[in-house]
Amino acid sequence: MKVRFTLTMDDLLVNGRHYDSVVLDWESDTSQEEVMRMSEKWISAQDFLTRRMQGLTRVGESSLTIEPLDDAPRETFQKLEDVSDA
């Protein structure tokens, strides 16, 4: 299934430089199971972003929105928020 991911990060530090806000938006073909795994990791790991993004050392607030672009059931998708990632 095709989904759109939107990652919003506020008050972040990348390679020693401060950024007020960064928004990354991309589309991907993935399975419903993979979306659920990513959602679970996002919710359960405070350092989800800093472990995966090279140079990122601090994120004040972040949110990840996952939305279907085809016929996937909408109740599977939600906006996931994390208050701090550092």
Q: What angle do CA 5, 7, 8 make, to 5 degrees?
A: 150
Q: What is the pLDDT of residues 37-55, one digit of tens each?
A: 888 887 777 788 888 889 9
Strand, coil or helix: what is 49?
helix
- What lies within 8 Å, CB to CB, of 48 at 6+ separation is 41, 42, 82, 85
pTM above 0.85, yes or no: no
Residue pair 66/77 in contact (Cβ under 8 Å)? The answer is yes
Could you tell me the pLDDT band of residue 6, with boundaries at 50, 70 and 90? very high
Tokens at 34, concatenated: 């993979």
Nearest to 8 by CA among 65, 52, 54, 51: 65
